[in-house]
Structure 1
Amino acid sequence: MVIDWNQRETNNGRGLRAAEYVRMSTDHQEFSTDNQSAAIRSYADKRGYEIVRTYADDGKSGLSTDGRDAFMRLIDDVENGRADFSAIIVYDVSRWGRFQDPDEAAMYELRCRRAGVDVLYCADQFENDGSIGSSIVKTVKRVMAGAYSHDLSVKVFAGQANLIRRGYRQGGAPGFGLRRMLVDQNGEKKGQLDRGEHKSIATDRVILVPGPDEEIAIVREIYRIFVEDGRSEREIAAALNARAILTDLSRPWTRGTVHQILINEKYVGHNVWARTSFKLKREHLRNDPEKWVRADDAFAPIVDRQMFMQARAIIDARSERLSDEAMLDLLKSILDGHGQLSGIIIDEAEGCPSSSAYRSRFGSLLRAYALVGFSPDHDYRYLEINRKLRALHPTVIAEIIAGIGAVGGRVASDPLTDLLTVNGEFTVSVAIMRSIFTSAGSLRWKLRLDTALNPDLTIAARMDENNDRPRDFYLLPRLDMREAVLRLCEYNGLSLDAYRFDTLDRFYRMAARALLPRAA
C-alpha cells in the first residue's frame, strides 16, 4: 500500500492564508513555475489554505540567493511584518534552494518560523511538523538537493574540458580577426555564426576560423609595429582610431584591447579555457596556468608563432627591468588616479606592466593590491588561507613519515603525487581540510577524496577555526568511503566520526613493525 501524505486533510487549516513560492532554474526543469503553482494550489485546497501571494523566481539558480529577488522579498516581507499570511507553500525542498550548505536552507526557514510563518513542502513525502522523522528526512533532501548541483557542475566542467581538448570553442566572442564557425558532429562546416547567434542543435560544435582578410591584416600589422617598430599599445590604438577602424565590438581601440590581442594564444591557434572559474556561483577564481585546459594547434593561426613569442617577450621584459618597489610605485600611482584597481585598469595604464606581470611577480593580484593598501569589495581571504595550507602540507607529510619511522615502519613517498606507501603494504594520501564559518556561525569542512590515486587510506587533517593547526584527524579507508566529496560538520554521527581521532597514534600503531628473532 502506498501512503499519499498529500491526501491527509486537516480541518484546523480552514480559512488560513498562505503565500506560494515557485522557482525554476535556467536548466531544463521537469516542472515549470506554472506546474509548481498548480500542485501548490491543489495542496492548499486540500489543507484549507487560501493562496493570497505569489513569489516567483523564473530562470534563477537555487545555489544561492543572488538574483533571487522574489525569494529575498519574501523573507523581507515576513521579517518586517508585511506578510498577511501564516504559511509559505513550496513545491519541494529543492525549489526552496539547492544551497551547498544545508544549514543555509535551514537558516531561511528558521527566520520565517521565528516570525510566525510556517514553510510547507507540498510534493515531498513528509510533514514539516518539527518531528524527529521529518527533520531527518528534510535534512537529507537538502543535502541531496545541494549534491545534485555539485555533481552536475562536475559533469558539466568535465564535458566542457573534453570539448576544449578536442578543439571546440566554449563560449565568448571570437575576437578581432577571427570568426565562429558552426560544425556538425562529424566536423563538417555548416555556416558562420554572427554576433548574438548560437547553435540550436545539441550535437553541433563551434570552432574558430580566420575572419575577413582586412581584419587579419590589421592583427598582423599590430604585431609587426609592436615588435619591429617598437610602438606601444596606446600608440597603436591611437593610430587605429585615427583610421576609423573599430574593434570587433564596434568600439574604439584602447590600450587594453590592443594588449589583449598581443597576449591571446588563440591568434596562434591554441584553444585555452578555464583561466578563471565561477563554479557553483561562488567566488570568481583566477586559476593557476597549470590548471588551464588547453589544446595547442586547435585552430588555423593568423599570426606567426615566432612573432607572437617576440611580442610576449617584450611584454614580459617590462616587469623584469623593474624592481618590486618600482612596480608597486606604479601600481600605487594607478590606485591614486582611479581610486580602485582591477586587471582591466592595470592593462589600460600607460607605461605600466600588465596585470599578468603583477600576478607573476607577486603571486597574485590580491597580494599586489594588499602591498599598496587596496582591498577589493569581495572577501578573498580564503585565497591566502589556501596558500598557507598548501605550504603546510609538506610539513604534515614530513611529520607523518617521521612518526612511521619512529615506530619501526618504512615509508616511500612519490615526489610527484605525495602518495605514501607504508611498509610496501598499503598506500596513504594526506589531505588538509580548511575550516569555513557558515552564515549561521558554525564550522564546516569539505574533503575531496583523491579518486585518481585511489589510496587505500586517506588521512584528513581537520583544521581549527583559525586554520592554524589540525584540531583532529580522520582515517578514512577506501573500502568504506562511497562518496568522492565529504562535507563535515563539527559532529557527524557514528558513520563518519567513528573514523575520527585526536592524534595519529592509532595510525602509527597500524604502521608499527617489531623485530622477531629468526627461528633456528
Structure 2
Amino acid sequence: MAKPLDPKKIESARQYSSCAERREQRRKLMQDEIAENQRSNGVIVIPPKKLQEVQQERPKLRVAAYCRVSTQEEEQVGSFDMQVRHFTQRIEGNPDWELVEIYQDEGISATTVKKRLGFQKMIADAVDGKIDLILTKSISRFGRNIVDILDNLNVLSALNPPVSVEFETEHITYTGDGKNNLLIVLLSALAEMESQQKSEAIKAGIRWRMAEGIYKFSVQNTLGFYRDHFGRLVIEPTEARIVEYIYESYLEGATPSEIAAALTEQGIKSPMGNDSWSVGTVRSILRNEKYCGDALMQKTYTKDFRTHKSVKNTDLNMYFKENHHTAIIKKEDWLKVQKLLSERHTSPHKAKLRFLSNRFVAHRVKDGLFKGYLILDSRWSPAERQEFMKIVDDTQDNTK
C-alpha cells in the first residue's frame, strides 16, 4: 500500500486552488468583456428625457444680498458701499443667477431685528416666494442675537422650497438640512458674545468721558439746544424763547398744566414735534439742569444690550459738571423753580394759591410799580376772595 494521504492538507490545497482559479477566471472574463466593449465603441449612456427637459428649462436662481453696518461713521460708510458693490457684481456676474435686490440697513444696530427695516423686508419677500438664495458677509452681519438669527434661519428653511443663506466669511451655506446646524449655533453664540463685549467696551468709554467732563450727551429731543458740525453745544434762539416762556410762566404762578395748554393753544409744537403738549413734558423741562448750564450725566442707562431699552439709573454712578455749557435760564431762576416745584409738591396751600378751584388762576404782575402783586379775578365770589386771602396769609406764615 502507498503511504497514507494527509486529507486536511489536500483539501486545504484543493480549496485554495479552486477559489484562486475561480477568481482569476472571473477577472479574466471581465477584462475580456471590457476589451470587447471598447472595440465596439463602448456603451452609450442615454439620460432620461425628463431629466434633460428639467436641465434645459431650469430657471435662473433668484439671489438677494443683505448688507449692514452699525454706525454711519466715514470708515463704516466705505465698508457699506463696498459690501453693496461686491454683492451686486458677484450676483450680476453669475449667468445662472438673477438679482432680486440688495437689502440694506445702514447705521442700524444688529442686536435685534426690530429696527432693521431692510432685513424685515428681505424676510417678507422670501416668505412671499421672491428669493431662492440670500448672500451676506457674515453671521454677525445677519444678526448678533442668537435667538433672532436662529428664528429667521428656521423661517427661511421651513419655506417650500426652502431659502438658503450663504455666509461668505465663514464659508457656510445654511440650507436647513441639519448639516451645519451645530456650527451655525456656535457661530451665532460667538456673534452675540462679541456684541456684548463691544457694548461693554463702549459703555466703559462713555463713563470715562463722563468722569472727565468731555462726554457729548445727546440733545436730539432737548428743546433749545443743538450740536453743530463740530459737535459743539449751541443754543437755538427760537426754541430757547419757548424754554424762557415756560420758566417765566411758572415763576409767575402758572401750573405745568396751564403752561402745556397755553403752548398747545398757541400752536407751538412739542420737542417731539407733536401738536399738543403734555404736563410731563413741561415738568421735565422745568427740572432739566441743562437749561441753567449744568450737566448731570447717566441719569438713565441701558441695562440690557439686546433690547437697548434705557432705564432710570438707581444702580450706577452719576456724573455732575457745573457750568458745563452756556445757559438759557439764569441759575438763580432755575433754583427758584426747583424750590417752587418742591414746595408746591408738598404744600397744599401753595398748590391752592397757584390754582384755585380748578377755574380761577392768580397771576403775578411781571414788572412796573406793582411788580410781584397778585391780580384777583373779577369773577371770583366774595367767599372765594376770602378763601384766597386766607391761603395767602397761611402761606406767608409758613414762610416766616
When normalised by structure 1's length, the TM-score is 0.43
Q: Is the 8 A contact 1:272 1:293 kept in 2?
A: yes
Code of the aligned partner of 2:319: R
CA distance in 2, matches of 1:79, 1:216: 50
Question: Aligned partners of 1:90 and 1:122: how far apart in 2?
Answer: 6
Give, as a single letter, the amino acid of the residue that structure 2 aligns with 1:56: Y
Q: Judging changes above 3 Å, is the alpha-carbon distance between structure 1 residues 141 and 37 closer, same or farther for their aligned structure 2 residues?
A: farther
Of 245-254 and 108-117, the range deviating more from structure 2: 245-254
Aligned mate of 1:294, from 319, 342, 350: 319
2:342 aligned with 1:311: no
In terms of fraction of residues, the more helix-rich structure is 2
Shift of 1:147: 2.7
Aligned to 2:188: 142
Instruction: Tell me how far 1:253 sits from its aligned partner.
Output: 9.4
Which residue pairs with 1:66 in the alignment? 114
Counterpart position of 1:22? 66
Secondary structure of the equivalent of 2:232?
strand
Q: 2:158 aligns with which of 107, 111, 114?
A: 114
CA distance in 2, matches of 1:78, 1:160: 40
Distance 1:128 1:309, change over 3 A: same
The reply to whether residue 158 of structure 1 matches residue 204 of structure 2 is yes
Pick 1 or 2: higher relative contact order, CA cutoff 8 A, min separation 6: 2
- SS of equivalent residue, structure 1 residue 88: strand
Once the two structures are superposed, residues 460-490 of structure 1 have per-residue CA deviations (whole angstroms, 9 ceiling, x without a partner) of xxxxxxxxxxxxxxxxxxxxxxxxxxxxxxx
SS state at 1:32 partner: helix
Deviation, 1:290, is 5.5
Residues 35-74 of structure 1 mapped to structure 2, 5 A cutoff: 35=83, 38=86, 42=90, 49-59=96-106, 60-74=108-122
Please tell me whether the aligned partners of residues 103 and 118 of structure 2 are also in contact (alpha carbons under 8 angstroms). yes
* SS at 1:170 equivalent: coil
Q: CA 1:110–1:266 in structure 2 vs 1: closer, same or farther (change >3 Å)?
A: same
The aligned residue for residue 16 of structure 2 is: none
Distance 1:292 1:54 in 2: 47
The residue identity in structure 1 corresponding to 2:307 is R
**Structure 2 partner of 1:170:** 217
29-38 or 114-123: bigger deviation: 29-38
- Distance in 1 of aligned mates of 2:258 and 2:154: 60
- Which residue number corresponds to residue 143 of structure 2? 97
What per-residue deviation string (whole Å, max 9, x for no partner) do you get for residues 292-321 of structure 1? 743230235554545434422332444445
SS of equivalent to 1:83: coil
Give the total of aligned pairs.
283
Structure 1: how far apart are the matches of 2:269 and 2:121? 43
What are the ranges of 5 or more consecutive residues in structure 1 without an aligned counterpart?
Answer: 1-11, 181-192, 200-204, 323-349, 352-520
Contact 1:167 1:299 in 2 (8 A): no
* Residues 89 and 316 of structure 1: CA distance in aligned 2, closer, same or farther (over 3 Å): same
Higher Rg of the two aligned structures:
2
In structure 2, give the amino acid aligned to 1:21.
A
Q: Which amino acid aligns with 1:266?
A: K
Structure 1 window deviating more from structure 2 (34-43 vs 292-301): it is: 34-43
- Number of the residue aligned with 2:382: none
Alignment of 1:326-345 (within 5 A): none
Separation (CA, whole Å) in 2 of partners of 1:239 and 1:261: 15
In the aligned structure 2, how far is the partner of 1:314 from the partner of 1:243?
A: 25
TM-fit CA distance, 1:272? 2.3
Indicate whether 1:88 and 2:134 are aligned.
yes
User: How many Å separate the matches in 2 of 1:216 and 1:42?
Assistant: 53
Residue 254 (structure 2) aligned to one of 231, 235, 245? 231
The answer for the alignment partner of 1:403 in structure 2 is none
User: Once the two structures are superposed, what CA deviation does each residue of 1:410-455 show, in whole Å capped at 9, x if it has no partner?
Assistant: xxxxxxxxxxxxxxxxxxxxxxxxxxxxxxxxxxxxxxxxxxxxxx
Residues 1:40 and 1:132: Cα distance change in structure 2 (over 3 Å): farther
Residue 121 to residue 258, structure 1, CA distance change in 2 (3 Å): closer
* 1:198 partner amino acid: H
Distance 1:217 1:21, change over 3 A: closer
Q: Matches of 2:92 and 2:264 in 1, distance apart?
A: 64
CA RMSD of the aligned region, Å? 4.5
1:270 corresponds to which of 288, 294, 304 = 294
Matched residue, 1:380: none
Indicate the percent of aligned positions where both proteins have the same amino acid: 17
Q: Please give the residue correspondences for 1:462-481 in structure 2 after superposition, counting only pairs within 5 Å.
A: none
